[in-house]
Amino acid sequence: MDRHQWDERYSGEELVWTSTPNQFLVSEVVGLPPGRAADLACGEGRNAVWLAEQGWQVTGVDFSPVGLAKAQRFAALWDVAVTWVESAVQEWTPPPEGFDLVAVLYLQLPQPERSIALEVAASAVASGGTLLVVAHDQDNLARGFGGPPSADVLYRVADVTDVAVAAGLTVERADQVVRVVDTDTGARDAIDTLVRAKRAE
């Protein structure tokens, strides 16, 4: 989906995604000391706002101005400050001091743009900082619930670890994980890629 299609998707008053943060962001970040965080492809801001509530100094980046406007309203509702940046992730220039946490959640991009975006994300990780990538996994197409129906925007764990290692990060976790989704017909499993990597001090 291009920027205009995302704008269109975000054009209603209702949130497209939930207002609660992603469960893997919460479980992976909860032990980290708050510092500077970047939420890339931040959408309507649920994850950026949660990070800000935890004391992180957050920058949210997304290429959809309509999504960002909703994120801004959401942050105001929760009375937290977040810096919002309208940019494609692969065209974004991170500040030289970097971030203690760079989170990329459910960025649906085909190759080669995906690897470029992940390279930008990895380059933004400061010394001692963490990169967290969570995405719909390729296997979700055949045996998981929801997510995009086209294989070209689905991830393999190795897509992310290859970029992380090439950027000088140490991979701390690289897994397929199951996210349980409540539906009208009961709980269903969605399969995600999860990679957490760290830059040495």
- Whose Cβ is closer to ligand SAM: residue 15's or residue 32's? 15
- Whose Cβ is closer to ligand SAM: residue 47's or residue 193's? 47
- 57-62 and 36-40 strand pairing: parallel
For 101, phi and psi rounded to 5 degrees? -145, 130
Among 38, 47, 131, 160, interactor with ligand SAM by CB under 6 A = 47
- Of residues 141, 145, 158, 143, the one with CA closest to residue 194: 158
Give Cα 124 to chain centroid, integer Å: 14
Stretch that binds ligand SAM, among 63-71, 155-163, 174-182, 190-198 (CB under 6 A): 63-71
Q: State the nearest-atom distance from the C-beta of 27 to ligand SAM, in Å.
A: 15
What single letter denotes the amino acid at residue 155? Y
Query: Is there binding between residue 84 and ligand SAM (CB under 6 A)?
Result: no
Q: How many CA atoms, within 13 angstroms, populate the side-chain half-sphere of residue 106? A: 21
- Whose Cβ is closer to ligand SAM: residue 46's or residue 179's? 46
Find out whether 99 and 37 touch, Cβ atoms under 8 Å: yes
Site residue total, ligand SAM (CB under 6 A): 21
* Alpha-carbon gap, residue 125 to 117, rounded angstroms: 13
- Whose Cβ is closer to ligand SAM: residue 89's or residue 163's? 89
Query: Is there binding between residue 147 and ligand SAM (CB under 6 A)?
Result: no
What single letter denotes the amino acid at residue 85? V
Query: Is there binding between residue 17 and ligand SAM (CB under 6 A)?
Result: yes
State the residues that interact with ligand SAM by CB under 6 A.
6, 17, 22, 41-43, 46-47, 62-64, 67, 88-90, 105-109, 117
